[in-house]
Structure 1
Amino acid sequence: MVRASVKVGSAKLVVICVGLLGFALIADFLWASSSSPSSSSFSVFDSKASTIIVPTKEKNKKEKEKEKKNGSSSSSGRLLADAYADLAGPQLNWEKMETSPVPRLDGAAIQIRNRLFVFAGYGTIDLVHSHVDIYNFDDGTWGGRFDMPKEMAHSHLGMVTDGRYIYIVTGQYGPQCRGPTARNFVLDTETKQWKDLPSLPVPRYAPATQLWRGRLHVMGGSKENRHTPGLEHWSLAVKDGKALEKEWRSEIPIPRGGPHRACVVANDRLYVIGGQEGDFMAKPGSPIFKCSRRMEVVYTDVYMLDDEMKWKTLPPMPKPNSHIEFAWALVNNSIVIVGGTTEKHPETKKMVLNGEVLQFNLNTLKWSVIGKLPYRVKTTLVGFWKGWLYFTSGQRDKGPDDPSPKKVIGDMWRTKLKLNE
């Protein structure tokens, strides 16, 4: 009897062990399936080629049917996870170039032929740059650093060129959230000499700025507190780096004020694109003008001035976009815009960066997403030379699954870009 009990107990033990082993094998198979590369969120970096390849998620049948029903297609190479408001777009091959001598946020850049002049900007919230670096597109190197005037603003500048002279309008003087100045300057890029221009009637923060029909136009931006939108529009006659008038002339106000817009002249028309109302303000009573968050509204607005000198509303951007004042280039009668910021995440309430390359075709007046960046980035600085689209500096995201801003960068990237007119 005792021997029989032992045999029965041994048999039960064997059955239990076999069952546990089978369960473990099934669990391991399921874990391996859910962790396959096609469903994970990652980027592959080929260090030898210095090229980022962002893989595309393989969709199941249910996802494809849902996209077809909604009339959308997520062909983006980035896995979006919980990110907010990313748009679908084709994959681009980005090549990493020589990094800028310093990282920059809210700096400015002007391209003159094969050189990109990069100005000012924050290094950190407590450090601002007061010099110019030059990037040579032909040999891919940085050099020729020189200082800015001591009285010149350090960030949120308005800036434009006539091909030799660079006109610099107002901007924020100092770090943190200090207010704007009304001082204006002009730089002769051949002699590296600076001269004064007549001051604006009042200070402005990050105004839209362009040369159009022989006049320097300054529009919108924020008022002295950095937050309240300005609607004013002024112009000043200029030629060969000199003001032809002593005072600014009032022009038709812009329909909607605010900073961080792209401002472009093409085909003898002036375009103002994107932007926002509101921005960080200095904390009341702070001796260092410490930044304090305020409500911001980012918009899709596109306005145009032509012969009638009345603002016309054009088709809006695919989504709200701001912090793009120097993030654009003219390519084959299209305006190409790189990165930026959109409305805050609806749940986390954090700032959301954009990672798309947008095209606004001036022939058809249609917007399209023509590519994805290696990461989302705001206030980046853009150039276009011999078929290559470049961007450098700004503030990038925390990662593929987190579109909020983190590191201020000096990276320089380029990709081959060909657009049809």
Structure 2
Amino acid sequence: MVRPSVKLGSAKLVVICVSLLGFALIADFLWASSSPSSSYFPRSTFKTSTIIIPKEKEQKKKNSVRLLADAYADLPAPQLVWEKMKTSPVPRLDGAAIQIRNLFFVFAGYADINTVHSHVDIYNFDDGTWGGRFDMPKEMAHSHLGMATDGRYIYIVNGQYGPQCRGPTSDTFVLDTETKQWSGLPPLPVPRYAPATQLWRGRLHVMGGSKENRHTPGLEHWSLAVKNGKALEKEWRSEIPIPHGGPHRACVVANDRLYVLGGQEGDFMAKPGSPIFKCSRRMEVVYPDVYMLDDEMKWKVLPPMPKQNSHIEFAWVLVNNSIVIAGGTTEKHPETKKMVLNGEVFQFNLNTLKWSVIGKLPYRVKTTLVGFWNGWLYFTSGQRDKGPDDPSPKKVVGDMWRTKLKLNE
């Protein structure tokens, strides 16, 4: 009678052991399937003390890192030592500037979206002071200007007249920087916002920009023969159109070649029916393209910028046969679609046709006004970012900064 009861107890024990073993195997399977690395590494490679991140959390972490990089797009760059100089008399956005030897002529611009400047300030690189303010002509545009110089005369073309998103002008002006006297030139065939402008081979070249609605890119390219602040012709001559139209690009002459760098297609437009021409957002495409004209008078494509860059029409300077560009704007945030500012200093070596990222600015900023004097790179004004972790634009500034610049030739 005892043996049957013992057999029954053994059977129960076997069933319990098998159940426990099965439960353990199921648990082990579930644990392994939840591991993000279970398909890449054998189970035996993990120690019991290893902390495993759940697959969904790991995926979120990867996505956040990817989006952060895409959105903020800061490129690796060496740190530069920046020294803060005397602040500009007024803050400026979309202003213009021309350097003639040790003097830096700074024009117009927005103080804020509802207020524009209509005067010129002068910065002296030798003694680090601002002074010599004088007024612009009443008919002259206040932002989005095209501008070039022959070393004495400054030629000013088109631009936006007034605050918000008001219309462009076709008027052109000349400033004699020695006498501070203004004169005029034949008006451009049609008005333009922020056309690429430069003096090349005795002619004032104007190209691209935005058309009268402020958004549609213009492809037209005109030139006018000028000398000593005067026009030698009564009308502008049509030239080869630029491959990509649009505003906010750098235009540089070096080694008897004409370069056009960066820019965008599209811009803010006036809200239909708004009595103050209130700005409303439109889709923009920022590009890194670089084009060149030489003796053949055909546009040649050169290596693109390290990333898309716009709002750089006065953000450049020539140093040791290199074009140096400070700040600008790049592609929009991939989720919020907000504007993203650039905080890098770029070098385009005209000997090698190679780009380098040579430093970082004190903060990200667009529409900087850039000069170079006695080995120092200067920039002033523009619209800066909201902070180190937010590259979208916020405050319009008048800060003046400088850093000692040494370039590899």
Scaled by the length of structure 1, what TM-score is found? 0.81
Tell me what 1:226 maps to.
Answer: 214
The answer for unaligned runs of 5 or more in structure 1 is 1-79
1:264 has 2:252 as partner: yes
The aligned amino acid for 2:77 is: G
Aligned residue runs from structure 1 range 17-416, under 5 A: 84-416=72-404
Q: Quick check: 2:70–2:334 contact (8 Å CA) kept in 1?
A: no
Shift of 1:83: 5.2
- Measured after TM superposition, the shift of residue 420 of structure 1 is 2.9
Cα distance in 1 for partners of 2:106, 2:258 equals: 23
Contact residue 223 and residue 229 of structure 1 kept, 8 A:
yes
Work out whether residues 71 and 332 of structure 2, in 8 Å CA contact, stay in contact via their aligned partners in 1. Answer: no
Deviations 1:85-128 (A, max 9, x none): 11000000000000000000000000000000000000010100
Shift of 1:179: 1.4
Q: CA RMSD in A?
A: 0.9
- Structure 2 distance, partners of 1:171, 1:384, is 25
What's the offset of the Cα at 1:370? Answer: 0.1
1:387–1:220 distance in 2 versus 1, CA, 3 Å: same
- The one-letter amino acid of 1:402's match is D
Q: Distance in 1 between matches of 2:178 and 2:359?
A: 35
Q: State whether residues 329 and 339 of structure 2, in contact with CA within 8 Å, keep that contact through their aligned partners in structure 1.
A: yes
The 8 Å contact of residues 83 and 402 in structure 1, kept in 2 or not, is answered as no
User: Which of structure 1's runs of 4+ aligned residues deviate more than 3 A?
Assistant: 80-83
Aligned to 2:72, what secondary structure does the other structure show? coil
Confirm or deny: 8 A CA contact 1:82 1:401 kept in the other structure.
no
Contact 1:83 1:401 survives alignment (8 Å): no
C-alpha distance in 2 between matches for 1:123 and 1:217: 29
- Distance across 2 between alignment mates of 1:114 and 1:225: 38
Q: How many Å separate the matches in 1 of 2:181 and 2:209?
A: 27
Deviations 1:232-286 (A, max 9, x none): 0000000000000000000000001000000000000000000000000000000
Q: 3-state DSSP class of the match of 1:166? A: strand
The structure with the larger Rg is 2
Percentage of pairs with the same residue: 92
Q: Distance in 1 between matches of 2:71 and 2:122?
A: 35
Q: Is the 2:71–2:334 Cα contact (8 Å) retained in structure 1?
A: no
Question: 1: distance between equivalents of 2:127 and 2:299?
Answer: 42
2:163 and 2:336 mapped to 1: Cα distance?
27
Distance in 2, Cα, partners of 1:376 & 1:393 = 12
Q: Deviations over 1:289-347 (max 9, x none)?
A: 00000000000100000000000000000100000000000000000000000000102
Q: How much has 1:84 moved relative to structure 2?
A: 1.5
Supply the distance in 2 between the matched residues of 1:287 and 1:275 (Cα, whole angstroms).
Answer: 29
Letter in 1 for 2:280: S
Q: Is the 8 A contact 1:237 1:243 kept in 2?
A: yes
Paired with 2:250 and 2:351, the residues of 1 have a C-alpha distance of 19
Q: Distance in 2 between matches of 1:85 and 1:345?
A: 9
How far the C-alpha of 1:349 sits from its partner, in A, is 1.1
The alpha-carbon deviation at position 397 of structure 1 amounts to 0.1
Unaligned runs of 5+ in 2: 1-67
AA aligned opposite 1:392: T
SS of equivalent to 2:139: coil
1:81 CA drift (Å) = 7.9
